[in-house]
Amino acid sequence: MSKAKSAGFSKERLGRIETLLTRKYIEPGRMPCAQVLVARKGETIHQSVLGLRDVERGAALTDDTVYRIYSMTKPVACVALMTLVEEGLIALDDPVAKHIPAWKDLAVYAAGLGPYLTTPAVRPMQVVDLLRHTSGLTYGFQNRTNIDAAYRKLKVAEMHAETDLEGMIAQLATLPLEFSPGEAWNYSVSTDVVGYLVQKLCGKPLSQVLAERIFDPLKMTDTGFFVREDQRPRFAACYNATPQGGLKLQDDPATSPYLAPPALESGGGGLVSTAADYMRFCNMLVNGGELDGARILSPMSLRLMAANHLPGDKDLTEMSRSLFSESTNAGVGFGLGFAVVFDPPKTLVPCSMGEFYWGGAASTAFWIDPVEEVTVVFMTQLLPSSSYPIRRELRTLVYSALMESQA
């Protein structure tokens, strides 16, 4: 009996994943490569490894390819912070200014291009606001407001900028918030601030904390903030999608800034990893915070992270101010580090109540289904993540192959 069948999946239907990826994306040149891992109860039951890791050099994708995972870094940083919550070093309802005194007078933007007219925040920013993106912070790439523009001018939290985490915090102390904390959801540098808090509370660089608390215990040997010398032969090229449906090289693996340690270790988007490493992280989460004897979080902490924390139990369509590229957000809220499904029919895709997920700017994605005990990791290197509806398509294909539901 195949692993897929013994796990309640149709091997033949799982084969549709490879068929769709090859015919729709790889062969037409819309996507350079694609790797998919599907696991149930911690056991991998399907893997697809397709296309080229480096189109210019004709290098085939391998199952140990190293990818830029961008915002799939966020759940890792948030898990690290939650380990500190468990130790009583910080609390979710702590005012952020308790840990960043320079932020005690942050106000809300009203008008101006600098100096700014501001109004007082209705309430102080709390640690939970950083984890669920209701902080009032933003991203420069949103290109939506005058505050976004100010972030771009200062290069706040930009990848491979010269400013470190301490410098980023100092920059943000000079800028007003987009809105009063808790009033809206806005994708932002909040998780970079989470990384700063982890670093400050531990008194060690963020990279060292993540290694000690997550990567080493989970044996995630290929995950870090830069590509080591021994990883270089496995490092993928990254591409931009062109308007014509083709590819344009965005980051050459031979000259990439990822080859050197960054000044700013971005908890919001700085990690590189492999599909196998990230699957170990996902399997720890689906298993209630433990994997192969390594306990990272308690089941209760993880349950708290995977609940919808948006005020009023609203979904992202009701609270988001972001120019946000996830496919659809009806029935989806946000927890402490990832999106959370709380009304499956509204999503219009197969999914389970309590499923949580996120993705990265280069079209990578993962999801964790605690009901079916299914974890899926998808890797490629194509900017932007809104280029194609691959994340929705993968959900449909994976769940159409699930023959034995536990719901």
Q: Output the pLDDT for position 324.
A: 58
In DSSP notation, 101-151 reads GGGTT--EEEE-SSSPEEE--SS--BHHHHHHT-SS---GGG--SHHHHHH
Backbone phi, psi, residue 312, to 5°? 70, 15
Under 8 Å between Cβ of 28 and 246: no
CA 115, 119, 120, 126 torsion: positive or negative? negative
d(CA 24, CA 365): 18
Structure tokens at 1: 């009996």
Is the preceding omega at residue 75 within 30 degrees of 0, hence cis?
A: no
Partnered with residue 374 across adjacent β-strands are 40, 369
Digitized pLDDT (tens) for each residue of the chain, 407 residues in all: 689 999 999 999 999 999 999 999 999 999 999 999 999 999 999 999 999 999 999 999 999 999 999 999 999 999 999 999 999 999 999 999 999 999 999 999 999 988 899 999 999 999 999 999 999 999 998 888 999 999 999 999 998 889 999 999 999 999 999 999 999 999 999 999 999 999 999 999 999 999 999 999 999 999 999 999 999 999 999 999 999 999 999 999 999 999 999 999 999 999 999 999 999 999 999 999 999 999 999 999 999 999 999 999 999 999 998 765 444 689 999 999 999 999 999 999 999 999 999 999 999 999 999 999 999 999 999 999 989 999 999 999 999 999 999 97
Is 0.85 surpassed by the pTM of this model? Answer: yes
Q: Domains in the chain, please, with CATH?
A: 3-73+223-400 (3.40.710.10), 80-202 (3.40.710.10)
d(CA 127, CA 1): 49
d(CA 376, CA 44): 9
| Cα distances (Å, whole numbers) of residue 407 to 34, 354, 369 | 30, 12, 11
Q: Output the pLDDT for position 327.
A: 46
**Cα radius of gyration rounded to whole Å, the chain:** 20
Q: Output the pLDDT for position 329.
A: 84
